[in-house]
Amino acid sequence: MGLMWTIVGFIAGISILVYLELVKRYHLDLISWTGLIVGELTILFGIAWSVSSVLEGVPRSGSMGAIMFGGLGLIIIILTWRFKIQHFPKSENEIASNSVNSPGEESENSRRNFLKSTSMAAFGWQKIVGSVLGIGAIGTTAYAIKKSSGVILDDVPNAIADDYKRMDNRKVIQTFVHSDKLQEKYKNRVEKWENASIDRMDGFKVKGSYKKYAEGKPKDEVGYTQLEYALAGASWQTSLKGNPVTVTPNYGVNSWDQSQVDKTQYKFKTKQDASDAIKTAAKLFGASKVSITKQDDRWDYDHLYDPINEKDVSWDDFPFKAKTVIVCLIEMDYVAMSTAPTVVTDGTSGQGYSDMIVVTDHLATFIRKLGYHAVASGNDLGLSVAYAVAAGLGEVSRAGWLITRDLGPRVRICKIYTDLDFVEYDKPRDYSITNFCINCKRCADACPSEAISQEDNPTFGPTYEGADDPEYSWNSHAGVLKWHSDSKKCYEFWVENEGSCSSCIASCPYNKPDFWHHDLVDTSNVVVPGPGHTFMREMDIMFGYGKTNDPDAVKKFWKSGRD
Ligand code: SF4
Ligand code: SF4
C-alpha cells in the first residue's frame, strides 16, 4: 500500500508543476481548472483502485478500475484541453516574450483581449455554478459519510405487525431436524416437507438428514477432498465440545448454572465505564465487534426446546431476570468464504462457531466474576439477527442474515444475557443496507436451491410456494417486514452438498475484505438512488467480485496462509 500512495503522491506532485506552468502560459477559467483537477483526481483514483485490487488478489477489478477510472480521467482532461484551454488567450508574460508584433498580430491581440474580457464577464456565472456544485459535492459527501455510519433509531428499522408472534424454538430448522421427537409429533410437517422436496431433490428424508452435511464423505472433487473435510471437522471441534447443537438452551457452555457469581458486586463509576469494560473484555476474548442492547421479549423464543435431551425448557427456570443482552460478532475468513459452496466454507463457519463458544463462555464468566448473573448463548434463547439489529450492529438482509457496516455479512453472532443493567445501551441504526437489497438480489440469484426471496420489496410473511399452508410454512417467522427465505430448501441443498453452502454470503456485494475503496463504495451506496444500486450490482460482477463455484478460489485459499 505504501508504494501505491508514493506513486499517487509522485503523480500529484508532477501535476502541480504542470499546473504552475499552465498558470504562466494561460488565463484559465473555473471550468478549465475544474476539468483538469477532476480529470487528474479520477486518474489518481483509478491508479489507487487498481493497485489496491491487485493487492487484495482481484486483478480483474484492478484492470477494470484502470480502464474505467483512468480512461474517464484522461477523457475529461483531453476534452478540457481540446475545447477550453487551447482557445484561451496566453498570459501577459507569454505575450511580452513575443513583444515585437506585426500589424496582423496586433489585431489578433485585440481579439484575444476581447475574448479575455468576455471570459471575465462569464466568470460571474461560472463562479456561481462552480460554488453551487462545490457546496453540493461537499454536502453530499458529508451526508453520505454520516448516513453510512448509521442513522440512530428508536426501534429496529423493520416494521413489526400488530399480530406479530414470537418465534418458537421448535420451529427453527436446526432444532427440528435434530429432534426425532419433534418429527414424530409433527408428522404432517415432515410429510409436507418431504413431498415438496420430491421435485427438488431425489429421496430426501428429514430423519437423520443432518448427518449427511455434518459428516460428509470426501470425494475426488475440488473443495470436497479429505483435506477440506479435515479442515471443516477440525474447525468445529471447540463448538462441538461447548454445545454440540447450537440451538440447545441450558446445555454445555450455554448452561444456566450461576454458582460462579461472585458475592461482591463490582460497582462501575459510570454506565460508559461499564460498557467500555464489557466491550474491551469481549474483544480481548476474540469478538470482532460488540454492542449492548436491552433484553426484549419480542426477540426471545417463546418456547424453548432441548433437541439433545428431547425436552422442553421453560423460561420460568431461567436463573435471573435478564435485563441486558450483549451481542458479539465473530468475523469469518474472506478467502475461505470465496470458495462457496465448497466444504472450505464449513471451515470458516465452524471456526466462527468455535470462537463463539470461547467468547461467550469467557465473557459470561467475566460478568459472573464481577458479581452479576450471566448466561452465554449461541443460537438458543433468542433471535441473534434481531438482537444484533437492535444493538445497532447492522440490518437484516434479503438473505435473512445480518449485514454489518464494516464486516458485511461475513459474521457469526453470539450473545450474553445478564442482569447487569448499569450500562450505556447502543441504539439500532439505519445503514441504508435494506435499501440496497431491494435492487440487488445477487444472493437470490446465486442461491443453488432458490431459497431466497426474489420479491422486490420486503413482506410481513413468506411468499414462496406453499407459504399459505401452515403445515409447510411452519418454520417461517411472519410479522416482521423483511424478506422471508424458505430455509427448508436451503437445508436440502446442504444435505445434497454434503457440507453447508454460504453462496449467498460469498456473492453479496457487502462481502469485501477491509480495503479503503470498498469502504468508499459502501459509503456512496447511501446517496445513490435505486437504479444506481442495480448499476453498482452489475459493476460488482464486472469487476470480478462475488463469484461462486470457482475452483481457483479453493487453490487460492490453500495458499493464503503464506507470509
Ligand atoms: S446457504 Fe446456500 S442454499 Fe442456503 S440460502 Fe444461502 S445460498 Fe441458498
Ligand atoms: S446479495 Fe444483495 S440482495 Fe443479497 S443480501 Fe447482499 S446486498 Fe442484499
Q: What confidence score (pLDDT) does residue 4 get?
A: 66
Residue 219: what residue type? K
pLDDT at 384 over 70: yes
Q: Looking at ligand 1, which residue's alpha carbon is closest to its atom 4?
A: 490
Distance 337 CA to ligand 1 centre (A): 13
Task: Decide whether any atom of ligand 1 lies within 6 Å of the 447 Cβ.
Answer: yes
11-63 pLDDT tens trace = 778 778 877 777 777 777 778 888 888 898 899 889 888 988 888 888 889 98
pLDDT, one tens digit per residue, over 229-255 is 999 999 999 999 999 999 999 999 999
Is 437 touching ligand 2 by the criterion CB < 6 Å? Answer: yes
Residue 449 in contact with ligand 1 by CB distance below 6 A: yes
Residue whose CA is at the smallest distance from ligand 1 atom 2: 501
List phi, psi (to 5°) of 224.
-135, 20
**Which ligand approaches the C-alpha of residue 533 most closely?**
2
Strand pairing partners for 480?
160
Nearest CA to ligand 1 atom 8: 447
Question: Is the distance from the beta carbon of residue 508 to the nearest atom of ligand 2 less than 6 Å?
Answer: yes
The pLDDT > 70 percentage for the chain reads 91
Hey, what's the cell of 126? 461560472
CA of 454 to the centre of ligand 2 (A): 11
More confident residue, 259 or 70: 259
CB of 443 sitting under 6 A from ligand 2: yes
Give residue-wise pLDDT tens across range 339-377: 999 999 999 999 999 999 999 999 999 999 999 999 999
Determine if the pTM surpasses 0.85.
Answer: yes
Q: Is the CB of 213 under 6 A from ligand 1?
A: no
The answer, yes or no, to whether residue 337 has pLDDT greater than 80, is yes
Predicted local distance difference test score (pLDDT) of residue 258 = 98
**502 Cβ inside 6 Å of ligand 1:** yes
Tell me which of 80-84, 109-113, 384-388 is least confident: 109-113
Q: Which atom of ligand 1 is found nearest the CA of 493? A: 3
* Mean pLDDT within 497-505: 96
In this structure, what C-alpha cell is assigned to residue 103? 500589424
Mind listing the pLDDT tens digit for each residue in 114-145?
445 445 555 566 667 767 777 777 777 776 67
Which of 86-95, 212-221, 326-335, 551-560 is the least confident region? 86-95
- Which one has a higher pLDDT value, 186 or 405? 186
Range in 50-54, 168-172, 195-199, 364-368 with the lowest mean pLDDT: 50-54
The residue whose CA is least distant from atom 3 of ligand 1 is: 490
Confirm or reject: Cβ of 493 under 6 Å from ligand 1.
yes
H or E segment and range at residue 331: strand 324-331
The mean-pLDDT minimum among 55-64, 453-462, 481-490 falls in 55-64
**In the chain, pLDDT over 90 holds for what percent of residues?**
69
pLDDT, position 125: 66
Mutate to test the pocket of ligand 1, among 401, 502, 548, 549 (most ligand atoms within 8 A of CB): 502
Ligand nearest to the CA of 398: 2
Q: Which ligand is in closest contact with the Cα of 173?
A: 1
**408 residue type, one letter:** G
**Dihedral in degrees, nearest 10, Cα atoms 95, 96, 99, 101:** 20
What are the pLDDT digits (tens) for 431-441? Answer: 999 999 999 99
The confidence score (pLDDT) of residue 2 equals 65
Pocket flag, ligand 1, residue 452 (CB < 6 Å): yes
What are the structural domain ranges in the chain? 2-121, 124-153, 154-557
Could you tell me if 534 and 456 are in contact, meaning their C-beta atoms sit under 8 angstroms apart? Answer: no
Residue of minimum CA distance from atom 6 in ligand 2: 508
pLDDT at residue 103 tops 90: no
- C-alpha to C-alpha distances, 556 to 17, 60, 233, 385, 527, nearest whole angstrom: 43, 15, 20, 31, 35
459 vs 86, which has greater pLDDT?
459
Whether residue 182 has its Cβ less than 6 Å from ligand 2: no
Residue 540 region, left (φ>0) first, then alpha (ψ -120 to 50), else beta?
alpha
- Which strand (E) or helix (H) includes residue 414? strand 411-418
CB of residue 501 inside a 6 A radius of ligand 1: yes
401 CA → ligand 2 middle, Å: 10
- Tell me the three state secondary structure of residue 46: helix
Residue with CA nearest ligand 2 atom 4: 443
Span 260-282, average pLDDT:
98
Nearest protein CA to atom 5 of ligand 1, as residue: 490
The average pLDDT across 75-93 equals 76
Q: What separation in Å is there between the alpha carbon of 511 and the centre of ligand 2?
A: 9
Q: Is the pLDDT of residue 510 over 80?
A: yes
Q: What is the 3-state secondary structure (H, E, C) of 25-72?
A: HECCCHHHHHHHHHHHHHHHHHHHHHHHHHHCCCHHHHHHHHHHHHHH
> Does residue 309 carry a pLDDT above 80?
yes
Looking from the CA of 183 toward its CB, the CA atoms found within 13 Å total 18
Rg over alpha carbons for the chain, rounded to the nearest Å, is 30
To test the pocket of ligand 1, the residue of 490, 498, 502 to mutate (highest count of ligand atoms within 8 Å of its CB) is 490
Name 293's bridge partners: 325
Q: Given this model, what pLDDT does residue 130 score? A: 67
Q: Which three three-digit cell numbers place residue 194?
A: 418431504
For residue 247, what are the contacts with CB-CB under 8 A and spacing of at least 6? Answer: 169, 172, 174, 175, 178, 307, 378, 379, 380
Average pLDDT over residues 169-175: 97
Q: 456 pLDDT band (50/70/90 cuts)?
A: very high
Q: How far is the CA of 400 from the centre of ligand 1 (A)?
A: 10
Q: Which ligand is nearest to the CA of 452?
A: 1
Q: Torsion-angle region of residue 529: left (phi > 0), alpha (psi -120 to 50) or beta?
A: beta
Helices (H), 393-526: 433-440, 442-446, 487-497, 503-507, 516-525
Say which ligand is closest to the CA of 507.
2
pLDDT in the model for residue 108: 52
Q: Indicate the average pLDDT of the chain.
A: 90
pLDDT at 117: 46
Residue of 352 and 202 predicted with greater confidence: 352
Pocket mutation for ligand 2, best pick of 389, 441, 456 (most atoms within 8 Å of C-beta): 441
Q: Which residues pair with 289 in a beta bridge?
A: 329
C-beta of residue 281 within 8 angstroms of C-beta of residue 326: no
Whether the pLDDT of residue 164 is over 80: the answer is: yes
Ligand 1 pocket: which of 397, 501, 549 to mutate (most atoms within 8 A of CB)? 501
Residue 96 has pLDDT above 90, yes or no: no
pLDDT digits over 141-161, tens only? Answer: 776 676 678 899 999 999 999
